[in-house]
Structure 1
Amino acid sequence: MKKNVLFALIAALAAPLAAHAEGAYIGGNVGRAEQKADFDGFSLKDHNTAYKVYGGYNFTQNFGIEGGVADLREAEKSESGLRVASKARTAYVAATGTLPLNEQFALIGKVGAAYSHVKVSASALGLSDSGSDNHASPYASVGAAFVLNKNVSFVAEYEYFGKIAKDGDAHIKANLVSAGVRYTF
């Protein structure tokens, strides 16, 4: 009887450590995306609600790989009859690093590459034009995780997608601040 109680106590205390261990995971985040654009003297900076889904695999407690897709939604600016809008989606793959601080908290960092598809539209004086761009850029992220149990963690992170579109001197940069849930198998 004492052995069973001792075993159950050790298992209960070790369960949170398993969440920082090896294995596959999936997750989803909701947050606020920011797009900053410069178009030949016209600048655009807008925030919108964004979403991302991702999956990964931790090879060790500290290192892994992750891939995901983020919908950064639409950024828009209207001024003096001119309307410019940018709609962005991006996919990324990154090496991950996890630094457990204790049984429940960990710091997370990611470095990799993002591939973005951006649709840009502009209209003024009854005329309109649109175009799209696909662009690869460096990707980086920092964040933290709170382990609820061996399968479920809550995460918060800041992600920088770099220049998601570029045409000559014109470019668009994007980042995402989000929170979500991660499920480890």
Structure 2
Amino acid sequence: MLKKYWFATAALVLSTTVFAADGGGYLGLAAGMSDHSNNGNLANKTGFKLFGGYMFNKNFGLEGGYATTKSSDDNFELTADSFYAAAVANWPVTGAFDLYAKAGLGFNTFDHGGIYGDIGGGQPSTSETSAMFGIGTRYRFTPNFSVQAEYERYHSDTGLISAGLTISF
């Protein structure tokens, strides 16, 4: 009989700890419009992102991801690939709605093409590590499924405005 109470008490304490932490891992994907500030007049702007992270509690976590953005017109094409690692600060506004910000490092590769291929110092491809930041909002339909909208800047000239889906586990 005592074992049953001990087991029930231990289960209650552990479940309370898990719910109080309100953390865990997540994976997601997003798509949107690229923001290449040096090439603002380019017509075709697309971007995609895969990401994952871990929230240590409801306010702080770490995230890593890969984003690719592309801007082009008839004469020029710029593709930027970024791997990033960032700290995430989350503000739960309501039970289902959050605002968040992130900051970290982006590891960027730029491919330049077309008749203006001399952009990027005359090199068809350049690489650079730089600070990255982002802001966004998330709405959770269930504890494990959410949608988000965000703006991220991976480099001084490259950003992504996106909407995406996130699965938490």
Q: Does 1:162 align with 2:159?
A: no
CA distance in 1, matches of 2:63, 2:73: 33
Which of residues 53, 56, 68 is equivalent to 1:56? 53
Where does 1:67-86 land on structure 2 (aligned, <5 Å)? 67-73=64-70, 75-77=71-73, 83-86=75-78
Higher relative helix content: 2
Distance 1:180 1:85 in 2: 25
1:135 aligns with 2:119: no
Tell me the amino acid that sits aligned with residue 29 of structure 1. A
2:162 corresponding residue in structure 1: 178
Kept in 1: contact 2:45–2:72 (CA 8 A) = no
Unaligned regions of 5+ residues in structure 1, if any?
Answer: 1-17, 38-43, 164-172
Q: How does 1:9-158 map to 2 (within 5 A)?
A: 21-37=22-38, 44-45=39-40, 46=42, 48-73=45-70, 75-77=71-73, 83-123=75-115, 131-158=124-151
Structure 1 segments (4+ residues) deviating >4 Å: none
Q: CA RMSD in A?
A: 1.8
- Identity rate of aligned residues, in percent? 28
Displacement after TM superposition at 1:123 (Å):
1.9
Structure 2's unaligned 5+ residue stretches are 1-18, 117-121
* Structure-1 separation of matches of 2:165 and 2:72: 29
Q: State the number of aligned residues.
A: 143
TM-score by length of 1: 0.72
Q: Is the CA contact 1:122–1:130 (under 8 Å) kept in the aligned structure 2?
A: no
CA deviation after TM superposition for structure 1 residue 36, in Å: 2.4
**Displacement after TM superposition at 1:86 (Å):** 1.2
* Higher strand proportion: 1
